[in-house]
Amino acid sequence: MFSMRSLLWFTLLLSPLVLAQPGTGPLRGDHLTVQLVADRTAVAPGETLGVALRVEHDPDWHTYWRNPGDSGLPTKLAWTLPEGASAGPIRWPAPQRLPIGPLVNFGYEGELLLPVAIQLPPQLTVGGQFALALKASWLVCKEECIPGSANFELSLPVVAQSVSDPQWALRIDAAFAAEPPSREWPARFTRAGDVIDISIEGADADFGAQSIEVFPIQTQVLANARGSAVRDADGRLRVSTPISDAFNGLPQTLEFLLVAGEGATRRAYTLVAEAASGAGAASTAPADRSAAGGADPAPLGMLLALVFALLGGIALNLMPCVFPVLSLKAMGLAEGVGDPARSRRHGLLYLAGVLATFVGLASLLLGLRAAGEQLGWGFQLQVPWVVATLALVMLAMGLSLSGLFQIGGAWMGAGQSLASGHDGRSAFFTGVLAVVVASPCTAPLMGPALGYAVTQSPLGAILVFVALGVGLALPIVLISFVPALANRLPRPGAWMEGFKQFMAFPLYLTAVWLLWVLGQQTGVDGIAILLLGAVALAFALWLLGRAGGFARRGLIAAGLVATVVAVVSLQGLAAVDGQAARSAATPWEPWSPERLAELRAEGRPVLVNMTAAWCITCLANERVALSSEAFRTRLAETGIAYLKGDWTQRDERITRYLAQFGRNGVPVYALYPAGGGEPELLPQILTPDGVDAALTRAARP
C-alpha cells in the first residue's frame, strides 16, 4: 500500500523536470532558482567546509521543512564525496506555517539557504582538488505542486591555508546560526481528550508577551495548525495543541520547535518534552521517524490488519518452532480417523487453547505496556526462567515420546495433555503450547499486524491477536471438520509407535535451541544450572515410570523440587553481553541510536538488523543471507555499515526503534541509502539475491 508521500516521491523520480547539467552556478527550474554555494574558494586538509543549497522561490511558491506538515515533501540532498569525507545533515532553519485551504504545511518562501557541514579528510594532498557532487530533489508548490531535481558539481583547490569566499562565507555562517538551538528547559506533556498540553519551565520571561508557535518535528502527533500558549501563575509556559487528524499514538518524547515573535524579533528553539506520568505515552507508537531516517508507515486499517494477522497465523504453521508441536496433534488426529465427532471436538478444543493463550498473552502484553514497559511480541522469551521452563517442557515431552515414562494419574493430567495424550484435554493444551513456542517466530505479514495492534484500543488489539490465533489453528480445525482432508491422513497402525518415537528428536532439538538462547542471556553458568535441572527432571520422570512405593514418590518429589530450584535460580544470574563474544571477523557492530546517527551524518549507507537469539526467522535469515562470504564481500565493496541490535533480552531503545516502522517484533531489516534518504524495509524472509540487490541500491549515490 502506497502512502501519499510515497506516491509523491514516485512521481518525483519519474518527473522530467530535472536539471541534468551539473554545475555550481544558479540553475533555473520551475518557479525557483537553485544554486550550490560554499564558504571557501580553497580548502585545507582536515577542516570543515560549509556548503549550502541556495533556493530562490518565485513569489507565492514554497518548498518544505523536514516535517512538511499536512502535505508535501522535504527537500533531499544526496552527496557523492571523496573517500574519507562525510556530510552532515541539513541544518534546517525555522519554517513558516503555510495554510492552503484546510491544510497547514511547514516550509519556506523567498530566499532560503540549506547549509550542510562537510568534514574533509586529513589526508588530502595540498596542490590537488577536492571534488564533490550533489543531487538535490524538492517539491515546489503554490496551489499546484511540481517536483524537480538538479545535479551539482563543485571542485575546490586544496591548499595549506583555506581561503574564505567573500560572497558566501558570512551568509552561510548566518544560515548555520539560523538553525534553532537546543534548550534544556524542563518540559512535560500530557494528553486530555483530543488536546496535548505541553508545560515548559524556564522559558524566557518575555515569551508570555509574544505570539508563540509550536512546530512538531514528529509527524502524526500534533495538529499542524497553530495552538494556544499561556503563562501559568507559577511562571510555566503552557502550550495546548490539538492532536493530529492522523494521530497514531503518543511517543515517549516529543521533539518540537518553540518559536516566539515575528519578523526580525523571531526566535526559535528546539525542545524535547517527556511524557508526564499518566500521559498514556507508553502504549504507543512512533518515535521521531525523521531523526531515525525512517519513513512513516502507511496505516494498515483494522480490516487489513485482521487479514494480515490471519494470513500470518496460517504461515506460522510452517515455522520450525511450531511444527514439532503440530505434528503431535496431527498424529492424534490420525488415530481418530473414523470418529468424526471426536475429531471435531478435538479441533474446537485445540482452537480454544490457541485463542485463550493468544488473548492471555495479548492482555498481559498490553497491560504491561500501559504500565510503562516497552515490550513486544515474544516478550516472554526475554525472561530466562521462562526459556528454561520451556526447554524442560520440551525435554519432558521428548522423553515421553521416547518411551521413558507414561504419565498416569489425575495429578499429572496437565503434563499428559502437554505431551502425548489423545483426550480432549490434550487438544486444548497442545493449542496452548503451540502459541507459546510460536512466539519466537514472526511469519510474513505478522510484523505490520502486530505493530498496528499495539497502537489500538485494547478491544482492537485483542481482535488482531484473535485473528492471528484463528490463522494458526485453521489447518488443524479444517482437518478436524472436513472428512475429505482427514481421510488423507495415514491410517492408524504399528507405524505410529515408530513415528511417535521419531518425533521426540525435533523436541530434543527445540530444547537444545532454547538452551542456546538461555546461554545468550545468562552465560555458561545458566547453561550448567539448567542442565542440572534437566538431569533432576529426567531422574524424576524415570522414577515415575517404574514400580510404585512410598520411597519412589519421595524421590520423585525431590527430583521435581530440584528442577524447580534450578529454574528459579536462573533469575539470580547476571545477564551476559552476547555481543562481546562475537567473532572479530564478523562484519557488524552493535546498534545504538547514537551510532546510527553518526553513520547517517557521515552519509554512509547503513544496514540495521534487529534480531534476537530466540527468533527462529532471524536465525534462518542469518544463515541463509547474512553470513556468507558473498555478503561480507558486498559489504566491503559498497562501504555499507552493518549494525545489529540484539533484542534477546528487553531493550526499550530497540522497542521504540521498531515502533518507528510500525513493528512490534523481530526480525526488522532497515537499509539506509548513501547520502541520506528514507530507509528501505527488507522482507522478513531474506534471500541472498534479494539482499545483494538491496545493498547495491543503497550504495548508489
Interval 463-469 mean pLDDT: 82
- Per residue, what are the HEC states of 619-666? HHHHHHHCCCHHHHHHHHHHCCEEEEEECCCCCHHHHHHHHHCCCCCC
> Of the segments 276-280, 374-378, 505-509, which one has the largest average pLDDT value?
505-509
Interval 353-360 mean pLDDT: 82
Among 409-413, 597-601, 645-649, 689-693, which is the least confidently predicted range? Answer: 409-413
Q: What is the pLDDT of residue 42?
A: 95
Residue 438 host element (H or E): helix 424-438
Q: What is the pLDDT of residue 372?
A: 44
- Residue 432 banded pLDDT, cuts 50, 70, 90: confident
- Residue 411 banded pLDDT, cuts 50, 70, 90: very low
> Cis (ω within 30 of 0) for the bond into 667?
yes
Residue 285: is its pLDDT beyond 60?
no
C-beta of residue 180 within 8 angstroms of C-beta of residue 269: yes
pLDDT in tens, 65-113: 999 887 778 899 999 999 999 999 999 999 999 887 667 889 999 999 9
Of 650, 654, 667, the residue nearest 382 (C-alpha): 650
Among 355-364, 371-380, 588-597, 632-641, which is the least confidently predicted range? Answer: 371-380
Q: What is the pLDDT of residue 56?
A: 95
Angstrom CA distances, 127 to 43, 118, 161, 164, 598, stand at: 10, 20, 11, 17, 30
Partnered with residue 274 across adjacent β-strands are: 188, 253
Q: What is the pLDDT of residue 689?
A: 85
C-beta of residue 45 within 8 angstroms of C-beta of residue 121: yes
Q: What is the pLDDT of residue 163?
A: 94
Higher-pLDDT residue of 222 and 648 is 222
Among 330-339, 470-479, 513-522, which is the least confidently predicted range? Answer: 330-339
Q: What is the pLDDT of residue 382?
A: 57
Residue 137: is its pLDDT beyond 80?
yes
Task: Kindly state the percentage of the chain with pLDDT values over 90.
Answer: 20
Among 167-171, 553-557, 607-611, which is the least confidently predicted range? Answer: 553-557
Residue 417: is its pLDDT beyond 60?
no
Rounded distance, CA 446 to CA 453, Å?
10
Residue 523: is its pLDDT beyond 90?
no
- Residue 63 banded pLDDT, cuts 50, 70, 90: very high
Higher-pLDDT residue of 469 and 234 is 469
Residue 212: is its pLDDT beyond 60?
yes
Residue 253: is its pLDDT beyond 90?
no
Interval 553-570 mean pLDDT: 61
Q: What is the pLDDT of residue 177?
A: 92
Residue 280: is its pLDDT beyond 50?
no
Residue 49: is its pLDDT beyond 70?
yes
Q: What is the pLDDT of residue 427?
A: 74
Higher-pLDDT residue of 524 and 580 is 524
Rounded distance, CA 596 to CA 606, Å?
8
Q: What is the pLDDT of residue 119?
A: 95
